[in-house]
Structure 1
Amino acid sequence: MPDAPAPTTNALLDVLVAGGRRADRLTHVRELPARDGVQGDWPAWADASLVAGYRALGVQRPWVHQTVAADAAWSGRHVALATSTGSGKSLAFWLPALTSVRADAARRALDPGRIESVARRGAVLYLSPTKALAADQLAGLQRLLDAAGTRDVRVATCDGDTSPDERRWVREHADVVLTNPDFLHFALLPNHRRWSRLLRDLRYVVVDEGHAYRGVFGAHVSLVLRRLRRLAAHYAKDGAPGPTFVVASATTADPAVSAARLAGVAPDDVVTVAADSSPSGHRTFALWEPPVVAGFEATHPDDPSVPTATEDAPEHPRRSATAEAADLLADLVLAGARTLAFTRSRRGAESVAVQTQDYLRPVDADLARRVAAYRGGYLPEERRELEEAVRSGAVRALATTNALELGVDISGLDAVLVAGWPGTRMSVWQQAGRAGRAGADGLVAFVAREDPLDTYLVHHPEAIFDAPLEATVFDPANPYVLAPHLCAAAAEVPLRSADLAAFGDPAAVTDLLGVLVARGALRRRTSGWYWTHAQPAAGMTDLRGSGGSPVRVAEASTGRLLGTVDAASADGSVHDGAVYVHQGSTYVVDRLDLADGVALVRRTDVDYGTWSRSVTSIEIADEPAHGDAAAGREVVERRWGPVGWGYGPVDVSSQVISFQRRRLPDLQILGTENLDLPERTLPTMAVWWTVPESVLAEAGVDADAAPGALHAAEHASIGLLPLLATCDRWDLGGVSTDLHADTGEATVFVYDAYPGGAGFAERGFELGATWLRATRDAIVRCPCHDGCPACVQSPKCGSYNAPLDKAAAVRLLDAVLAHAPD
């Protein structure tokens, strides 16, 4: 039976508010007007067959931004293409790239006797942050080439899942290779001699979803691309130009600067194309705050900023964003809307899908079967099936992590729910861009979690709609990131002095090479720096900071592989006794074998979930040195009278020590079990502030109250730092103590949750007063009595949010800010 026509956005908004019964949860509605498209002409240089192929697929004329970007790339200029989701960025880079490949093929056909014709065969390398996106682009390319009737362009994906025989064919024959930075780092560059044909003839490098490369991951990928450029120059004929880079990205601040830093070229060499000329339908964007649960109310008659509550106020005063999103998703599905619900975690995606199915099953069992979850950790064939099911309409609603934020071509959606702030405005607009059928109208709803930032945003819509987009921030000069890539580069081809400028400031790179030589990682000769060890240098670093190879989750009775879990999260998510959820089915972990990287599970229906508990300690790794924080990675200190501020390197040690079983859905604690897992150490960068006893006394915080006050201030400050830095709460960690061994005073630390740091803590250090004022205001304005997830509780606290003292935290922050500079 064909699907009914899509409901209008007004009708969908009425579904959300349930005819007015849920209207109090709607905090703001912003209408985003439609935009007409502006078309250009096909470039004169464009291959006629490819143009015919695009026309056969329905693209009669390109949008202006597509032709501008394509012209710049064809002329050999690097391009930063930063336009909205669904604006057709792929045409802008495939048209010049494939035209170049076909021109070389034509030259070979016309003059096969010339040696140059045989030797030169322009190649294209396409990089995406996920295998799913590369597979999606391959399918699109094949549709284009079939429509064009061309048989002379050989296209293939090549990644960690590709067999040795397939890799050999790709090396020897493929004109266009679609892969990811991980394969480039671990396989292609270390084995560059086998890939010399592609490197010698590399004409274009396409970096898709460039905004995904931020923080430490972005720094790693930037250095991988610099190694790629170096090897391409190594194999190219004298005087041959290097490859042209096209960085396609979501709309972002300073796209040329970000693209240039990513590719390792000068910003002046990059052409920015950011004026989106594609059509866009009218979008209705709703901000939504889940309701207060029964038993809680803010009732202070004189000052609503003073929190009060009934005596039986629950621990979680507002309904969870996942439960609320499941309700809304079920209602949208019943109304005939095809919908994506983005969640913050894998657990959240599974939970929203299961709850939505439970709501729908008594009403329409067929609709319940057309709801599914999509997340990282699924097997590739499962992900492909789900993507196709959404395209075809077999699945009408998908609860997903940000795995579907990046580029996979899923259109024809009527609505998008965003359950929890995704970390950046760039991400929220990427997710929102999925709403609307090929330029038709669409509905977007942001559902706030109980989190200081989410609560702030639904009551300050200008922070979403009117604030500028973030720049993509990453630091390729981070020595923790740069050092292993210098070793990898030396292993590929010995490093010469002339190479150093490609990796940053030559003097700083030379100093770091000296450290590597002193530690025995490299050897210095008059001709350069050499890697002389038997093991591969690429194994020294992990691009995604996952802490090693993923842990496989397998069914103990059958050996069937269910999925994978990142190594960094395995201790806390697939420990012995943990509950693992896969497409609505629950499994209990019998044994986690860290040596073999496998968690063995058994299928069991349970009515509880598991939450792990960890302990964390922190040690300052250097001696104080006064000065500018950006000058180096030594400790830098500032004073606010008696209050001290510091920024510098730290070692963070953490260990998962126990877990709780909590009944679902009320989260009642059923029991606690201890765990015996190894301690992990993270070298990173942190910002901290210290409070002497005199300031604690000013705040009226005695020895009993200090741990709870510091802990609450730490949680709230972590929740608010993403307002000031291009990061997410999950990019940060924190530790607070009433007496720290290194400072000798009560101290709150906030650190970057990545090896070597990512620049987020440094931003907090630079904007300390602004940061703490926002933190204090967020706590005060929350109407709860003793603290809740909207102010001082943290969803990732390793000690189950204990101890916390909201009122003492406000007094402490007031006392600290009293000493802040004007």
Structure 2
Amino acid sequence: MTRAAARGRPSPPEAGTAGRVVPGEVPGGVPVAWDDLLRDGARTGRLRHVEVLPAREGERADWPAWADPEVVAALERGTGARPWRHQVLAADAVRAGRSTVLAAGTASGKSLAFQLPLLTELRRPPADGTDGRGATALYLAPTKALAADQDARLRALGLDRPLTATYDGDTPPEVRRWVRRNASLVLTNVDMLHRSLLPGHERWAPFLRRLRFVVVDECHTYRGVFGSHAAAVLRRLRRLAARYGAEPVFVLASATVAEPATTARRLTGVDVEAVTEDTSTRPRVSVALWEPPRREDTGQDAGQGAGGEQRTATAETADLLAGLVRRGVRTLAFVRSRAGAESVAAGARRRLLEDAPDLATSVLAYRGGYLPEERRELEEGLRSGRVLGMASTRALELGVDVAGLDAVLIAGWPGTRASFRQQLGRAGRRDRPALGVFVARDDPLDTYLVHHPEALFGVDVEATVLDPSNAYVLAPHLAAAAQELPLTEADLDLFGPAAAGVLDLLVARGLLRRRARGWFWTRPERACDLTDLRGAGGTVRVVETGTGRVLGTVEAGAADSSVHAGAVHVHQGRSYVVDELDLAGGVALVHAETPEHTTHARSRSEVRVLAVEEETVHGPLTASRGVVEVTSRVTGFLRRRTGTGQVLGEEPLDLPERRLRTRATWWSLEADTAVDAVGGAPARLPGALHAAEHAAIGLLPLLATCDRWDLGGLSTALHPDTGRPTVFVHDAVPGGAGFSDRGHQRLREWLGATRDAVRACRCATGCPACVQSPKCGNGNEPLDKAGAVAVLDVVVAALAAGAP
């Protein structure tokens, strides 16, 4: 196969031989070691589907003739074999000076593909004939753990050069100086580029002058607002490298990225060649879709919404983890939160103490916050088999070398198909089949997916959504670029068509000054401090009143609803009550307490349409997208009894109004059509639209790389800007992140899935698995599940009738 033939879209995982199964039955292809676990009569009705991803034979290639023999020998010692063909294709492209993205599966050896050309080039003596440093390279990881893991792999090769070093927020000042002067390969992250390397580029001048390569690992993680920030940082890096005479080759890698060339080009701003065929070997993997039962089920099918509260995914995962460890199956359980990971590990240990006490100590938790040496010990224990079961947050999803396990459990939808496949990829040793189990939470999307396996298998991962032209993101980076080196007209093309207008705004605000030679920074403070790459609008510290200890942070935009006075705040499994929220000081003061209630903020919001960018009419339906202003205010909170949810009271709050200019998609119906859909009862319309809005927000992550917490919405029976019953779904960050635009592009598919999910739910009037939302500012009132199905039927039919 020629390299050109390998540039197409990545092929989705092959569909397996298993189809939908009768609950309680296990189809062929499930490995014997855990067959009895899935057949256990006590778990009847929980297994919804098993998909068998068939094994794949690998295809090797010869080492390239241009590769340094010592590098080849070191890499061959590590792999024990010749490289896979896709590794050589990518390495050849990088060696030839073409920016390249490699999209291949987890544990397919993507690191070798960029290590081979980088190490070969960086080992060459400098062109000036001195004994100093030759070419240099940057390796960018989304997490410090991944950069440290990559550094450890490079050191394990045993090469005398190039000199490699990590450079992050934990690096002491004296070590930073050594790195700048001596290291040829610096392993860091975009946060350090933004706050340290680029603002201090004069000190990095010798390094930047020789910059030959920039590696962006796990490039699918750069999405949404964070991805837009990263794109701006990489453009600033390219600008300064050019200032010193360098034009680096970009090398990007990901196991799970859709449209890799497009995503990579949007992130870096340069044309990128894609290598997408995975030629590595892969074992057979059986993937089970698992739905916990309802607590009040009595012998009936434990189906979605069958009555009562669904058992939590963490409790169900703890049971499965204990069962697999009892059978000697090396298992990793992915859990969404740190507290959840600790809970799953503790629950599995308790179950093992009852019937296999000698195995209880072989189950541990892994999460952020551990010391590096603790983390390395846990990773080695999992690899060696000393640790049989581990519950982890996403900290073990990216790049850290823990592949080769027997089974992976996924407690709750991880947010995207990309993450789902990344986590599944941790299971499988080359000589034996593996198991993956997705355990659904009581959530609309989780429930939909376990009943619609076609949405998970045989389809591409979501497109990575990021918008480098977002003015709210671009503004602080143009300011930072101007402080690093005055901006000129020639720089504007680098930052895109929105840059000129943003510069005018910065000048009007007095942050930049226009002169004949360009735009100059005017302030004494550091421009890079204007923004936090991983947040939107800063953070609020949560501080324990009695000790002054900082427990953690919450995003400033979420503080009103999560850490208002009287709120119950949970941190690492312990409960605290908020005494005071000081928005000006960015601090919430709390004290430890375990009340018998939870708190739920109530809010009021309005959406005003500022600009309609696209609008289509489908009979009685009008679908639009554009720019909106969301005005919201937290007005109070409910106290609900723990366990039962009984409302104990409502407390008012006096908090400021917040305004958010962002992007949205919305659809409106002719009033008569909407009323007819709910049986001619206008009083039902608000509840029907509200329920449809909640369900739509819950299902949009099926199509866009986002979480429901990245979104907001509003529904109304009469909106002043449309004059009709209208439902809005908007991005929850300033300027937007592209998520709602993605929904508009695939509106028919999105709302069709929403309608199907609500209709299929077997609850009577609505539950968390269909139309109730954990973030509703109106306390999930009013909601009309049947009305939502009826309205969505009309919407989906209108979209189908208008389809080309």
Q: TM range, normalised to the smaller chain?
A: 0.7 to 0.9
Identify if the C-alpha distance between structure 1 residues 52 and 173 changes in structure 2 by more than 3 Å, giving closer, same or farther: same
Indicate the residue corresponding to 1:278 in structure 2: 280
Alpha-carbon separation, structure 1, partners of 2:694 and 2:290? 23
User: Would the aligned equivalents of 1:344 and 1:402 in 2 still touch at CA under 8 Å?
Assistant: yes
Q: Which amino acid aligns with 1:100?
A: E
Instruction: For residue 138 of structure 2, give the secondary structure of its aligned residue in structure 1.
Output: strand
Contact 2:236 2:481 in 1 (8 A): yes
Amino acid across the alignment from 1:764: G
Alignment of 1:216-227 (within 5 A): 216-227=225-236
Structure 1 residues 707 and 378, CA, compared in 2 at 3 Å: closer, same or farther?
farther
Q: Does 1:289 align with 2:291?
A: yes
Change beyond 3 A, Cα 1:386–1:751: farther
Instruction: Work out whether 1:176 is the aligned partner of 2:185.
Output: yes
Query: Which amino acid is the alignment partner of residue 285 of structure 2?
Result: R
1:362 counterpart SS class: helix
Q: Confirm or deny that 1:157 pairs with 2:160.
A: no
Query: Does the 8 Å CA contact 1:643/1:690 hold for their aligned counterparts?
Result: yes
Task: Give yes or no for the alignment of 1:466 onto 2:458.
Answer: yes
Q: Which residue of 2 aligns with 1:441?
A: 433
Secondary structure, aligned partner of 1:730 = helix
Counterpart Cα distance in 1 of 2:643 and 2:330:
27
CA separation of 1:518/1:64 partners in 2, compared to 1, >3 Å: closer, same or farther? same
Displacement, 1:128?
0.8
Work out whether 1:482 is the aligned partner of 2:474: yes
User: 1:591 & 1:416 partners in 2: Cα distance?
Assistant: 42
1:428 CA drift (Å): 1.2
Query: Unaligned stretches of 5+ in structure 2?
Result: 1-28
What is the DSSP-based 3-state SS (H/G/I as helix, E as strand, rest coil) of the residue aligned with 2:125? helix
Give the match for residue 607 of structure 2.
Answer: 619
Once superposed, what is the RMSD of the aligned Cα atoms?
3.3
1:612 deviates by 3.4
The question of 1:67 aligning with 2:58 is answered: no
Query: For residues 82-121 of structure 1, what are the structure 2 equivalents within 5 Å?
Result: 82-104=103-125, 111-112=129-130, 118=132, 121=134
State the TM-score, normalized to the length of structure 1. Answer: 0.85
2:55 aligned partner? 34
Shift of 1:481: 2.1
Match of 1:139 in 2: 152
Q: Alpha carbons of 1:221 and 1:517: their partners in 2 closer, same or farther (altered >3 Å)?
A: same
What are the Cα deviations for residues 452-475 of structure 1, in whole angstroms up to 9, with x where unaligned? 333332222222111223332322
Map of 1:408 onto structure 2: 400
Secondary structure of 2:728's partner? Answer: strand
Moved more, 398-407 or 279-288: 398-407
User: How many Å separate the matches in 2 of 1:405 and 1:179?
Assistant: 18
Whole-angstrom distance in 2 between the partners of 1:435 and 1:157: 29
User: Closer, same or farther in 2 for the Cα pair 1:142/1:520, shift >3 Å?
Assistant: same
Deviation string, structure 1 residues 620-669 (Cα, Å, up to 9, x no partner)? 25255xxxx3xxxxxx4444555544322223344555556666666666
Using a 3 Å threshold, how does the CA distance of structure 1 residues 51 and 640 change in structure 2: closer, same or farther? closer
Q: Report the CA distance shift for 1:675/1:364 in structure 2 as closer, same or farther (over 3 A).
A: farther
Alignment pair present for 1:246 and 2:251:
yes
1:397 to 389, 395, 400: 389
Contact 2:56 2:283 in 1 (8 A): yes
1:782 corresponding residue in structure 2: 761
TM-score by length of 2: 0.87
Q: Deviations over 1:413-445 (max 9, x none)?
A: 211112222232222111100012356421001
Task: Go from structure 1 to structure 2 and tell me whether the alpha carbon gap of 1:492 and 1:337 turns closer, same or farther (over 3 Å shift).
Answer: same
Q: Which residue is equivalent to 1:633?
A: none
**359 and 590 in structure 1: CA distance in 2 versus 1, 3 angstrom threshold:** farther
Residues 83, 719 of structure 1: CA spacing in aligned structure 2 closer, same or farther, 3 A cutoff?
same
Question: How far apart in 1 are the matches of 2:279 and 2:204?
Answer: 38
| Distance in 2, Cα, partners of 1:101 & 1:60 | 24
| Letter matched to residue 42 of structure 1 | W
Cα-to-partner distance string for 1:340-381 (whole Å, 9 max, x where unaligned):
222334454344334334433434456444434444566767
Q: Look up the equivalent residue of 1:223 and give its one-letter code.
A: A
Cα pair 1:333 1:396 within 8 Å, conserved: yes
Partner-residue secondary structure (3-state), 2:83:
coil
In 2, distance between residues paired with 1:292 and 1:774?
23
Deviations 1:225-271 (A, max 9, x none): 111011001012xxxx51111101114332122212211112xxx33
Paired residue total: 770
Match of 2:327 among 330, 335, 340: 335
Tell me, yes or no, if structure 1 residue 509 matches structure 2 residue 493.
no
SS of aligned partner of 1:705: helix
Q: Kindly tell me: are residues 489 and 247 of structure 1, through their superposed partners in 2, closer, same or farther at Cα, counting changes over 3 Å? A: same
Pairwise mapping of residues 190-205 of structure 1 onto structure 2 (< 5 A)?
Answer: 190-205=199-214
Cα displacement string for residues 146-197 of structure 1 (whole angstroms, at most 9, x for unaligned residues): x33x1x4322211222222222222222221111111111221112112112
> Is 1:649 the equivalent of 2:627?
yes
Residues 607/321 of structure 1: CA separation in 2 closer, same or farther (3 Å cut) = farther
Aligned equivalents of 1:660, 1:367: Cα separation in 2: 44
How do residues 749-764 of structure 1 correspond to structure 2 at under 5 angstroms?
749-764=728-743
**For residue 54 of structure 2, what is the amino acid of its counterpart?**
P
Code of the aligned partner of 2:196: A
Match of 2:695 in 1: 716
**Structure 2: distance between partners of 1:589 and 1:377:** 23
Amino acid in structure 2 at the alignment position of 1:137: Q
Match of 1:632 in 2: none
Identity %: 56
Q: Once the 2 structures are TM-superposed, how far is the Cα of residue 324 of structure 1 from its aligned partner?
A: 2.1
Please give the alpha-carbon distance, in whole angstroms, between the structure 2 residues aligned to 1:254 and 1:594. Answer: 41
Indicate the SS of the match to 1:779. helix
Change (3 A) 1:491 1:557: same
| Shift in alpha-carbon separation, 1:661–1:228, aligned structure 2, 3 A | same
Q: For residue 463 of structure 1, what is the amino acid of its counterpart?
A: A
Name the SS for the 1:98 alignment partner: helix
